[in-house]
Amino acid sequence: MTATTLDPDTTGRDQSNIDVPETLQSAESKLVYVFLAASDGATVEELHEALHLRKITLFPVLSTLTERDVVGREGAQYVPSAS
């Protein structure tokens, strides 16, 4: 398995200043949100590989983030909401 790095030159985003919504309580939800914000979105498989979280853990986290309108979906990809 290869490690995923977030390179500002490829994402085009300032990763040093990602605002995490105060409504996020769990470490997993914060981690997933920050990864999605820094990478401009990812699939469940990409999240699983990059964050080493089990898919059974990711699905409820992504469901909660989606319900709270913190992230949205574009096909198979989860992306940060434009708020």
State residue 5's pLDDT score.
Answer: 45
Q: Which residues of 10-23 are buried (b: 16+ CB within 10 A; e: fewer)?
A: eeeeeeeeeeeeee
How far is 20 from 33, CA to CA, in rounded Å?
7
**Bridge partners of 71?**
80
Other CB atoms closer than 10 Å to residue 50's CB: what's the count? 17
Third-level CATH fold of 25-80:
Arc Repressor Mutant, subunit A (1.10.10)
Return mean pLDDT, the chain. 85
- Ordered by start, the domain boundaries in the chain are 25-80
pLDDT tens, per residue, the chain with 83 residues: 334 444 444 445 555 688 888 889 999 999 999 999 999 899 999 999 999 999 999 999 999 999 999 999 999 999 999 75
For the entire predicted model, the pTM comes to: 0.78
